[in-house]
Amino acid sequence: MQNSMITYSLIKSIYEESKDFLDIFVPFVLNSFPEGKKECNLDILSKCLEEKFGLLVPKHTLNTLIKRAARNLYVQRSQNKCFLTDKGADLILKTITKQEETKREINALFEDISNFIKENFSIDVNTEDIKELLNSFIKRQLGPLITFFNPKLFKEEWRGEGNKNEFYLIKYFKFAKQQKPSEFKYLEDIFYGALISSLVNKEDISALSKNFKKLQIFLDTNFMFSIMGLHYDYICKPAKELFELLRSNKFQLKIFNFTIDEMVRVLKGYIKEEQKYIPNIKVNSIYSNLKIKGWTRDDCIRYISKLEQRIHELGIQIEYTDIDLERWKPNNIDIFSRISEYKRDQNPLGKKHDLCAIEEIKRRRGIKPKKEIESCGSVFLTSDLKLAQFNFVEFGHKDNFTVCEVISDRILTTLLWLKKPSVIKHLPIETFMSIESEILIDRNIWNRFYDNLTKLKDEEYITEDDISILLYYHQLEQDLAFINDPDEITSRLVLEEIEKSKKTIDEKTKKMIEDEKKKLELKYKEEIKKKVEYLLTLIQTMKNNIKESSKKRTNQIILFLYIFLFLFFAIVIFLLWKKNNLIAIISLLVGILQLFGIKANIFKIRDKLTNKLFNKIYIKRLAKAKIEEFKDEISFECK
């Protein structure tokens, strides 16, 4: 099992170096030689490929890989035997080194996933559980693709439902993508390597390079709702990306007029069932998402009235037929009962729509069976995997190795990626992640729960307050999402959920109060910090402004003093000059100054006077500005 994960990661790593699908698998063929031997026949190689790497390679494909290895001088071939060359032995050593590095990375990844699930969901899972879970998830995703490439490899278990624990795996995918890029890269390598590994099941890998020839793609109801944004966002996103990809590659995108009738019928159902859905509880139904979006019945009617216009705006051509689903009957009446085995909950008109779409695609393709999707002429694109499985098994494609009329969006996305992986880099993993990235309550489970809830209220076993508490109880969504059998939904279960919600909400309320208190304290501290920083900046700005104004005032006063002294001495000198006593008086003044030891340094006197005057003005203005009050406020806020 772990070998499969290592194989997938190695495949992606080798592909990044070679960019050739045949070259990718050559190292695995070489490493399948029995240890210590340089000679091996094809039967042993085939067996060892499966045992060591989990690769089930058809004989024709193995022959093609041996030819590629021989062309690159890794082996020499003689009839049914292969002989390893020195160059081939060197490649084996290089591959083993990579294998050991990959093994360490994979083990660390499994440990990280295990810790994530324990910490976030309180579920104790060891690394062996993680290996099994991831392997199961990948095998289930690969099943339809392997079947598409080689119908005779179909396995019944691929039709099964996923393990509910896969939800936690998807949550880790999303977490790693956002916060652990290295771990997400390991997951990507495993996932994309698994997709590439499916190619060895194809009889002729080189056929993958063929281009599509005027392929008409008719869109199913569910895919239309996704590209029109009516499903949950995580479902709509990959559908919209695929749609844009198809449009940019000039595929003929069409829709049958009876598919539009089916869309209208589904949307009209919301008008009747809108009251059943609650905005904070997600049910696996388009109605649930419309409720979350806030759609009213009037919104629905308005949308229906402009539906064809919206389809035209998307660039989708409407294919008009004379078909009326109310009156239409399938050519084979038995097929109607067989589709019920795959889609038990689907209403009769929905089944008619699906069968009619298959018949219309068959008619457009003509009598001759189609062996290649690239030249089949028409397909019906759906998000409904059960419909794709039904078409594959019940219309003879499994036994005849022919191209199905119905193709799932996942298969088409993956096929386009395999044809142009450098252009379409991230689409497949986003598509597969979207399938199970949310906990959704099955629509039948929810209807049964709602009916029981309504009945208990009508019989006055419960009150409006009980219902409000139950719907506020966030665990309800998860409790119901993990129930598969509608018969498990009883009045007793509803009452138990109400009691559980009351108890949990009491505990949650206490915790919520504590959490809110902590949040408020943290928020208060942050606000105080910002306020203190603002006040300190304000004080500094005020001080700088006061300094500048004080300097300016000081300079003005000093200038005034200079002018005053100049005028004073000018007048004294003028008067003394008139009395002819100027020289005697100056001599007297200098003598007195020298007597007391004072030297006339006019610049030093000016600097002292300026500093003293500035400090006096500055302190006076600081006091007037009341900056100390700001400091007191800061001290108070910080306490």
pLDDT per residue over 326-336, tens digit each? 999 887 888 88
Res 109: pLDDT: 93
Mean pLDDT over each residue of the chain, to the nearest integer: 82
Q: What is the residue whose two structure tokens read 């080798």?
A: 14
Res 478: pLDDT: 78
Tokens in use for 182? Answer: 């290295």
Res 217: pLDDT: 97
Instruction: Please indicate whether the domains covering 2-158 and 210-424 agree at the CATH topology level.
Output: no
Res 263: pLDDT: 95
Task: Determine the Cα–Cα distance for residues 152 and 397; give it in Å rounded to an integer.
Answer: 10
pLDDT digits (tens, 9 = 90+) for 392-451: 999 999 888 899 999 999 889 888 888 877 666 666 666 665 555 666 888 899 999 999
Task: Determine the Cα–Cα distance for residues 151 and 204; give it in Å rounded to an integer.
Answer: 14
pLDDT digits (tens, 9 = 90+) for 98-110: 889 999 999 999 9
Res 332: pLDDT: 80
Confidence of residue 201 (pLDDT cuts 50, 70, 90): confident
Res 524: pLDDT: 60
pLDDT digits (tens, 9 = 90+) for 6-44: 899 998 888 888 767 888 899 999 999 988 788 888 888
**pLDDT of 585 above 80:** no
Res 508: pLDDT: 58
Lowest mean pLDDT segment, chosen from 198-202, 238-242, 417-421, 573-577: 573-577
Task: Determine the Cα–Cα distance for residues 9 and 188; give it in Å rounded to an integer.
Answer: 8
Res 12: pLDDT: 87
Confidence of residue 501 (pLDDT cuts 50, 70, 90): confident
Lowest mean pLDDT segment, chosen from 298-302, 487-491, 537-541: 537-541
Tokens in use for 290? Answer: 């419309």
pLDDT digits (tens, 9 = 90+) for 63-100: 888 999 999 999 998 877 889 999 999 999 998 898 89
Q: What is the four-CA torsion angle of 462, 467, 468, 472, rounded to 10 degrees?
A: 130
User: Are 187 and 176 spatial neighbours (Cβ–Cβ below 8 Å)?
Assistant: yes
**pLDDT of 325 above 70:** yes
Res 318: pLDDT: 93
Average pLDDT of the segment spanning 46-57: 86
Q: Where are the domains of the chain?
A: 2-158, 210-424, 443-509, 520-638
Task: Determine the Cα–Cα distance for residues 196 and 446; give it in Å rounded to an integer.
Answer: 39
pLDDT digits (tens, 9 = 90+) for 454-483: 999 898 888 888 887 777 665 778 788 888
User: Are 74 and 117 spatial neighbours (Cβ–Cβ below 8 Å)?
Assistant: no
- In angstroms, how far apart are the furthest CA atoms of the chain? 144
Q: Which CATH code fits 2-158?
A: 1.10.10.10
Please give the helix or strand (H or E) that residue 150 lies within, else none: none
Helix (H, G, I), strand (E, B) or coil at 191: helix
CATH tag for 210-424 (out of 3.10.180.10, 3.30.70.100, 3.40.190.10, 3.40.50.1010): 3.40.50.1010
Confidence of residue 598 (pLDDT cuts 50, 70, 90): very low
Please give the helix or strand (H or E) that residue 615 lies within, else none: helix 602-625
Task: Determine the Cα–Cα distance for residues 530 and 625; give it in Å rounded to an integer.
Answer: 23
**pLDDT of 634 above 70:** no
281: CB partners within 8 A, 6+ apart: 288, 441, 446, 471, 476, 477
Q: How far is CA 340 from CA 259, 386, 403, 579, 616, in A?
A: 19, 11, 22, 136, 98
Tokens in use for 229? Answer: 């944004």
Residue 439 zone, left/alpha/beta (φ > 0; ψ -120 to 50; rest): beta
Task: Determine the Cα–Cα distance for residues 241 and 575; give it in Å rounded to an integer.
Answer: 102
**pLDDT of 511 above 90:** no
**pLDDT of 112 above 90:** yes
